[in-house]
């Protein structure tokens, strides 16, 4: 099911060659087995959506762009754009606000949306994207599904405005909405799929209520990617497991609620137990072996359970469970309650996730 026209052809051979090299890198990573997603990556020009990016230097960030008068910096910009890596695309007061994700990770997430399942049932797949960024991911979705079935949301007009213009220049006109991504986009609901490109502490209930029964939500959570199947949108019920791949994204940003009360101290955010001398550990990783501190799986478990377990408690569990991989963990959402679990939602290892707005 193809979308609107794919936009302008590359204006010179180096760009076409660079794009072909990127596709080779993504396929070498084991992605783009689906020819329809492969066609999207082949035909949507990433350089159109990343006209500039920032690279870290000893003196701070340097801006590289396709319009730089220096040919060396222009060449570096093009090389970076068509290399399989994430790029810093929007800085505010020295803080990274938005990125263009690593293309092979984008390909994996798009394929794991399993849009073909929804198409087989209803002939179309309506997708809500949380985190517009540059607009590149929305363009890929529009190419595959048709722009009329794609809605993308970001918090600032400074982001959505340029993304909307770039999408139009490439020949795509999905609904680009400026708003709080945690609230979804109810005026365009219901959705068969929701994909987030920003890290979450928990799953916003509004997303689930805006889904169709059987919809799939894919979002970054605790340095992993959770896939939730929505079983009952009205009752806010969904459940699913983590994918095995690590994932690090810029956190979801939300507009502050002027009616919100200052948070009370959370009793679960407690220090490690006293030592035999009666002193508390000053270092939260006190006595943890280097093996654990260097292991990405422990970091995932520690992040997932930080609302409940101390670092030493998380390490004890990690050790006793033979260094569990991400895919052994899952999340259940039941109304206002949501929790993570190990191996089974009914098993002995369950941890509450922070509430909305935490």
pLDDT for res 297? 94
**Domain extents in the chain:** 13-241, 290-352
Q: How far apart are the first and last CA of the chain?
A: 40
| Residue 277 DSSP class | T
**What's the rounded mean pLDDT across residues 195-218?**
96
List the structure tokens of 15.
């760009």
Residue 13 — pLDDT band, cuts 50, 70, 90?
low
Alpha helical stretches, state H, 113-233: 115-122, 136-145, 157-170, 205-209
220-266, pLDDT tens digit by residue? 999 999 999 999 999 999 999 999 999 999 888 776 544 444 433 33
272-290, pLDDT tens digit by residue? 333 333 333 344 445 688 8
Is residue 131's pLDDT more than 70? Answer: yes
| List 100, 101, 142, 202, catalytic entry | 101
294-339, pLDDT tens digit by residue? 899 999 999 999 989 999 999 999 999 999 999 999 999 999 999 9
| Residue 253 DSSP class | P
Mean pLDDT of the chain: 87
**What's the rounded mean pLDDT across residues 191-218?**
97
Is 277 an active-site residue?
Answer: no
pLDDT for res 11? 44
Contact 170, 7 (CB under 8 A): yes
Pairing mode of beta strands 191-196, 127-130: parallel
Q: What angle do CA 189, 354, 206 make, to 5 degrees?
A: 10
Q: Which residues pair with 211 in a beta bridge?
A: 191
Q: What is the pTM of this model?
A: 0.87
Assigned fold of 13-241:
Rossmann fold (3.40.50)
What three-state secondary structure class fits 130? strand
pLDDT for res 163? 98
């Amino acid at each position: 099911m193809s979308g609107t026209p794919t936009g302008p052809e590359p204006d010179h051979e180096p760009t076409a060659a660079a794009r072909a090299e990127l596709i080779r890198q993504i396929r070498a990573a084991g992605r783009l087995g689906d020819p329809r997603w492969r066609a999207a990556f082949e035909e949507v020009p990433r350089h159109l959506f990343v006209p500039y990016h920032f690279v870290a230097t000893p003196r701070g960030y340097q801006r590289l762009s396709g319009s730089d008068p220096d040919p060396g910096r222009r060449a570096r910009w093009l090389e970076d754009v068509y290399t399989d890596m994430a790029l810093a695309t929007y800085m505010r007061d020295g803080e990274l606000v938005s990125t263009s994700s690593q293309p092979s990770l984008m390909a994996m997430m798009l394929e794991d949306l399993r849009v073909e399942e929804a198409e087989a049932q209803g002939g179309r797949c309506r997708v809500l994207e949380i985190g517009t960024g540059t607009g590149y991911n929305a363009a890929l979705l529009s190419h595959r599904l048709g722009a009329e079935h794609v809605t993308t949301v970001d918090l600032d007009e400074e982001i959505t405005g340029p993304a909307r213009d770039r999408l139009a220049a490439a020949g795509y006109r999905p609904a680009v909405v400026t708003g709080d991504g945690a609230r979804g986009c109810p005026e365009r609901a219901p959705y068969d799929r929701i994909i987030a490109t920003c890290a979450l502490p928990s799953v916003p209930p509004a997303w689930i209520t805006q889904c169709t029964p059987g919809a799939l939500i894919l979002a970054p959570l605790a340095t992993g990617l959770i896939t939730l199947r929505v079983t009952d949108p009205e009752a806010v019920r969904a459940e699913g497991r983590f994918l095995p791949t690590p994932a690090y994204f810029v956190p979801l940003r939300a507009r502050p609620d002027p009616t919100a009360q200052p948070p009370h101290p959370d009793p679960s955010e407690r220090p490690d137990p006293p030592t035999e001398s009666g002193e508390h550990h000053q270092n939260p990783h006190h006595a943890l072996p280097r093996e654990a501190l260097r292991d990405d799986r422990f970091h995932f478990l520690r992040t997932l359970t930080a609302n409940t377990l101390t670092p030493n408690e998380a390490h004890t569990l990690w050790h006793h469970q033979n260094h569990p991989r991400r895919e052994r963990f899952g999340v259940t959402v039941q109304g206002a309650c949501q929790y993570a679990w190990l191996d089974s939602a009914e098993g002995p290892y369950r941890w509450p996730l922070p509430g909305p707005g935490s």
